[in-house]
Structure 1
């Protein structure tokens, strides 16, 4: 459980620190766009009130709290489930990344009313219109890690 806790805390703190730096240090909330290494890496301010890619977004405050509740419930479930997987460090790391990312985005919803997305990457003539954040990377990498590593040590 130490690996899960350390990873969750690391992803959460990295996510929140990056948001504070980008929003307040660089002033992206007011500037809205900063080209870092175009087109490969740009900072584009986007307030996501929905799920991935703005899915289920609306302006009602109810959905904000529903998403916070879902993130907390999923995080608790993942931690409880991961406790039943002793000795599988890869599973603990993946679960920690997912939980840290989910809690980072949940805190955004509580503090800002929406998730602060700001990373935008494009390549090879493809213009990506979407933005994401470190928490999103944690959730995605954690989910993929759980799919790949969970259940690998079960006896037939």
Structure 2
């Protein structure tokens, strides 16, 4: 989680044109940025990265998340950004949709299928197992 918090701080500073964190006054150049770590990622066969983003995210902007995905592509990583509906006051909670994306990967779904399916999904959904079962059947796997 520290990386997420720092990425949020970097995002806010970058968008406001500030040279330092608003609260700690740590110079922007001294802050850890997850984008800097992308060249260290070594994909395994079948590896994929997905960034589930809400256009109205108030904690980490869509622009910042898009930049992360774009930089991942520049680093040669198979990364895709998917627009979803986050929950919570700031629309940042996308964990349930992220879990659904992970289930799709584990079920062997193709990247193109995964990218198309979650778009527009709502993180407030209480029944995540039903859609996961349908997905498993759609890709030819039997649900447990």
Structure with greater helix share of residues: 1
The higher relative CO (CA closer than 8 Å, separation ≥ 6) is in 1
Fold-level match, TM-score > 0.5?
no
The TM-score bracket by the shorter chain reads under 0.3
TM-score, structure 2 as length reference: 0.26
